[in-house]
Amino acid sequence: MDSFLLEALVNGILLGGVFALPALGLNLVFGVVDVVWLCYAELVMVGMYAVWFLYTQAGWPLWVAFAACLPVVSVLGLLLHLLVVRPLLAAPPINQVLATGGVLFLLQGAMTLIFRTDFRSLGVDMPPMEVGEIFVSGTKLAAFCAALVGAALLWAFLKFTYVGTAIRAIARDREVMPLMGVDPQRIYLIASAVGGALAGLAACLLVVQLDVHPFVGLSFGPITFMICVMGGLGNMLGGFLAAFIMGIIVSVGGFWGTTEFSYVVAFGFFIVTIFARPRGLFAR
Amino acid sequence: MRYVIPLLLALACIPLLSPPDYFLHLGVTVLLTAVAGTGWAMMGRYGLVSFGHGAFLGIGAYTMALLWNMAGLTPWVGIPIAVILAALAGVLLGYPCFRLKVVGHYFALVTLAAGEIVRILIVALRDHTGGSLGMTPDRVPPDQGLLAMQFDKSGFWWLALLAWAIGLLAWWLLDRSMASKALAAISEDEEAAASIGIRVTREKLRVTLISTALAALAGTLMAQYRMYLNPESLAGLGISLQIVFGAIAGGMYAPLGPTVGAIITIGLEEVLRIAFGTEFTGGAPLIYGILLVLFMIYLPRGIVGIVERKRRSAAAPLGLPVGAK
């Protein structure tokens, strides 16, 4: 195979790893709370600002800034749930989505007020690595590995802890679980916090690859939603796999055409997929 | 709707009083935003929530502007072509969605993807559309302005008013028709509606056609009024959500709701801009966002919704709770 194509393919897989985290977070929240966080990419954006601020302005070591970003966004997820989602739990789904859409504007506006619209760069880069015939960006590889570790930790949490089991149970049947002594409100809170933490982790991985500005969420937000829908809303494994499919389409598409056309192809693929499998590629 | 015709006549007389240009500018902006919001609400109130209506503003505006710049086709002809094309695009997207029962969250996210595709296509076709930098329709000397639909603010005031009236007329006609009842039934329970003989796909497609045509009409006139088009303000998620917000804030179940919403959103933007100038960029979306959340929690039927409920409950105190849905 052409080594450039191979490189595009590898980059696509690496990109998929980065898409996978927010997709997992969104699916977790949707699966458990049954609400789409339309502002999810904006939570990631706030996390990116947190890392940027702590590292370049407050002078914290990078890994401390990364470690601080997770709880910050996690708390943001909790607040989002308590202040916006909880009062709307009984409302029609569309009202819930629109309210979180309001939070999208709110966060964009707040960050514009605080940090202006300038593009902020972390200025951290790792040298590219040569693997066989192809070059792989060190930052992207590191981000990919971190994403896989994050996904594995999430899986272990859901699989082996008591709370994780309760989360999976609530996602499976929200009528019966309260009868079994699981307090859904508490589970919603935990899922929102974990969903927020995943956005925080995604922020750490993205901030080394992208410049931060208040509208950066719009550049990866839509594709994240499409990945979730393609994998089946609430289906974590489906979303995880769909992230790689989308990553490869975007990357390989960019190899043949411009970046924009690769996104057009990816979004078009998404629409066709939904027509073919309206409940997602991996619907049971 | 009795109050609409006198209101229209009164509004049509306003340019004769030679008000300040700024007032006319705000008026045109509000009216055109209201047309887009009215179009959106015609789908939105039946549960067909689109997060991609910006796409239709964009398809309309760019079709018109490209026909003018590249083929010299006057907007008077270009706008109908653009509106038809955008409505066809709406049907092209809608048909498989409705046929294959893509509803709820899935529908919202498919339309979101469609909106993004249009935005990215506009950027990608930068050789013709100017990409993110935007494009300007070619100007003509003032004496040919009428033919090229390039005239002063009062001219656009009347055009915008006409578009607004078309929007309200479409709403009124739909409201009076059986289609409205059918759509209400579909939004309650699609399968039950189908079981009593309602053609679900056809009804949904018809309302999509009207809704996207209105959005495209608003988009073309906005572009022609500003004489500037760019992908961010005419396609994509940002503008789509703003349309939704306007319609929701005003109230999407009442014909004048989206108009009230447009007054609120444009008014808010202007007040914040004048009060804080450029120091406070970001303030407008911040306050928008907070209001949108508060509206969804406390007033999901919008401002007009409360007024109507008060009036109806005064008229029929023993009636069923109006609008309990």
Domain boundaries of chain B, sorted by first residue: 4-236
One-letter amino acid of B221: L
Whole-number Å distance between alpha carbons of B79 and B221: 8
**Chain centre distance of CA B150:** 22
Whole-number Å distance between alpha carbons of A4 and B265: 49
Chain B environment of A97 (Cβ under 8 Å): 49, 105, 108
User: Per-residue pLDDT averaged across B301-312, rounded?
Assistant: 75
**Least-confidence region, from B21-30, B141-150, B179-188, B215-224:** B141-150
pLDDT, tens only, B141-182: 888 888 888 888 888 999 999 999 999 999 999 999 988 899
Flag whether pLDDT at B325 surpasses 60. Answer: no
User: Per-residue pLDDT averaged across A168-186, rounded?
Assistant: 84
**Quick one: pLDDT band at residue A154, thresholds 50, 70, 90?**
very high
CB–CB contact B113 A271 (8 Å): yes
**B147 CB-side CA count, 13 A:** 7
pLDDT, tens only, B226-261: 999 988 888 878 888 889 888 888 888 888 999 999
Range with top average pLDDT, A60-74, A126-140, A264-278: A60-74
Instruction: Write down the residue that tokens 């969420």 correspond to.
Output: A217
Among A267, A269, A272, A273, the residue to mutate for chain B (most B Cβ within 10 A):
A267
CATH code: domain A3-116+135-276 is 1.10.3470
- Residue A213 has what pLDDT? 92
Whole-number Å distance between alpha carbons of B153 and B161: 12
- Residue B312 has what pLDDT? 64
Flag whether pLDDT at B310 surpasses 90. Answer: no
A131 sits in which H/E element: strand A129-131
**CA-based nearest residue to B72, from B117, B138, B134, B7:** B138
φ, ψ of residue A202 to 5 degrees: the values are -60, -40
**Quick one: pLDDT band at residue B317, thresholds 50, 70, 90?**
very low
Flag whether pLDDT at B315 surpasses 60. Answer: no
Q: Kindly state whether A113 is in contact with chain B, defined as any CB-CB distance less than 8 angstroms.
A: yes
pLDDT, tens only, A186-229: 999 999 999 999 999 999 999 988 899 998 998 888 889 889 88
ipTM here: 0.85
Distance from CA of A227 to the nearest CA of B (A): 10
User: Tokens for B230?
Assistant: 């760019």
User: Per-residue pLDDT averaged across A5-20, rounded?
Assistant: 88
Range with top average pLDDT, A212-216, A252-256, B128-132: A212-216
Q: Kindly state whether B235 is in contact with chain A, defined as any CB-CB distance less than 8 angstroms.
A: no
Whole-number Å distance between alpha carbons of A26 and B30: 36
User: Per-residue pLDDT averaged across B278-306, rounded?
Assistant: 81
- Residue A210 has what pLDDT? 86
CB–CB contact B113 A226 (8 Å): yes
Among B46, B125, B127, B293, the residue to mutate for chain A (most A Cβ within 10 A):
B293
- Residue B11 has what pLDDT? 87
Instruction: Write down the residue that tokens 């406390």 correspond to.
Output: B298
